[in-house]
Amino acid sequence: MLNKEKHQLLMGLILKDIYTDISIAPLLGFKGGTSAYFFYNLPRFSVDLDFDLLISSEENQQMIFEKMKAILKKYGEIKDSYIKRFTVFALLSYGDADHNIKIEINTKKLVPNLSEQYELREYLGISMLVAKKDYLFAGKLAALTLRTETAMRDIYDIHYFAKNNWDINRIIRNIGFWPKIRYDKYISKLRGFLSY
């Protein structure tokens, strides 16, 4: 069962450890629903930590992987961890009756100058590289299209972003994240869906 306060505290401690380590802090951009929850007032509680590796190389992937495991060991048992083609992954269990924390680091360069999609923001008195709103919005739209099954959290987040007049990152929109449908048709259908 999820203890929201404990889960949020542990995610905050993990973020603190990541962004106070000068060897990995400039390499990781914090993104996804949890970053929107912590930094942009998304009312939906998100339970995972998602990042982009801003300077991707095999050496950086391995270093991040080892550092991440060392950080997570302080807070519980690492149930799973691996490096795959475009992902550095770890799953932390912090108690038998508690929810797990999934940490996923995308290593694929999604856009040119990926670091420009991030800005420094402060949490717990610590500077962190956080995805800009328009990058988060475009990423959620892409996730909605690319997932094999619709995730209701994506619908909720997209509705929140649209309702709050967030822009959509044009760079991402133009590089083919929407392979099955033209962007303008996609947005038109989405507007119709969100108007209900």
- Convert the pLDDT of each residue in 20-57 to its tens digit: 999 999 999 999 999 999 999 999 999 999 999 999 99
Site of tokens 């993990």: 14
What is the domain count for the chain? Answer: 2
Same domain, 6 and 59: yes
Is the model more confident about 14 or about 152? Answer: 14
Q: What is the pLDDT of residues 61-80, one digit of tens each?
A: 999 999 999 999 999 999 99
Q: What is the pLDDT of residues 87-139, one digit of tens each?
A: 999 999 998 777 899 999 999 987 878 999 999 999 989 999 999 999 999 88
Same domain, 1 and 48: yes
Same domain, 116 and 147: no
Same domain, 40 and 103: yes
Same domain, 150 and 84: no
Q: Would you state the structure tokens that stand for residue 51, as one six-digit string?
A: 């990042």
Q: What is the CATH number of the domain that holds 39?
A: 3.10.450.620
pLDDT of residue 184: 66
Same domain, 111 and 26: yes
Same domain, 146 and 158: yes
Same domain, 21 and 88: yes
Same domain, 70 and 138: no
Number of helices (H) and strands (E) in the chain: give both, helices first. 7, 7
The whole-angstrom separation of Cα 195 and Cα 191 is 6
Domain that holds residue 49: 1-131
Site of tokens 């009756």: 97
Same domain, 182 and 122: no
Domain boundary among 76, 102, 131: 131
Q: Is the pLDDT of residue 175 over 90?
A: no
85 by Cβ neighbours in 10 Å (0-12 / 13-18 / 19+) ranks as: exposed
Same domain, 51 and 4: yes
pLDDT of residue 169: 78
Domain boundary among 86, 107, 131: 131
